[in-house]
Amino acid sequence: MKMSFAVTAILFVTYAGLAASYVRAQDNAQATGTIKGQVTASGVKDIDHVLVYVEKAPGDYTPAKQPVQMDQQKLTFVPHVLPIVKGTKVNFLNSDSVLHNVMWKKSDDGSYPAQNLGTWGKGASKDFVFDKEGSVGLLCNVHPEMESYIVVLQNPFFAIVGKDGAYEIKGVPPGQYTVKAWYPNPKKLKAKTAKVTVAASQAAQLDFSLSRK
């Protein structure tokens, strides 16, 4: 199901605001750099579901103070991919006029056991704190065509790729990092990693080409 321009704009602002809330304090402490680039992929139309993130970064990172929202609108989880820092509370809202359920099966990486948060109606919500690194694939047992993904990360240096394939991760402390480009369905696009060196007040270019192989 295609999302409207308004919803797409809201998601862009949400991702940008979420990442900024994590790194604002660090930006004030030292000069930081940027990782940006272009992601190309073969065999998929939804390249904007690709998540690019720094796998590990020195230090400890606190989650967002306020809950991050995963909505259910027009029989669709919004957003389709939600990256968060470990310890973040996610608010699962139902904005539809029908009953929705939120559940997930055991994570492929073993990080989270199967969970069923229940079923609720329009305007109601439930919270869940994701306290381990890993990922879950969200489902609605009322509407089996619905799915979404939450990726729980060690640090806030991440970005969702735009429809044009571009991404930008701001506020990264200087240093050398391993960066991963991840897609929800590994049978369609295999994740890739690459090394990058970030310098203060500079932008490091890092492009990815994803495919099934």
What secondary structure letter does DSSP report for 75?
A: T
pLDDT score at 10: 46
Mean pLDDT by 10 residues, the chain (213 residues): 45 52 51 97 94 97 96 98 98 98 96 98 98 98 98 98 97 98 96 98 98 91
**pLDDT at residue 27, as a whole number:** 45
CA distance 156 to 211: 26
Domains and CATH numbers, the chain: 5-210 (2.60.40.420)
The per-residue pLDDT for 24 is 45
Whether the model clears a pTM of 0.85, i.e. scores above it, the answer is: yes
Using alpha carbons, select from 70, 96, 78 the residue that is nearest to residue 2. Answer: 78
Burial, 143: exposed, middle or buried (Cβ in 10 Å; 0-12, 13-18, 19+)?
A: middle
pLDDT at 13: 47
Helix (H, G, I), strand (E, B) or coil at 11: helix
Q: Which residues is 102 bridged to in the sheet? A: 118
pLDDT given at position 153: 98
Burial class (CB within 10 angstroms; exposed 0-12, middle 13-18, buried 19+) of 182: buried
Residue 18 confidence (pLDDT): 57
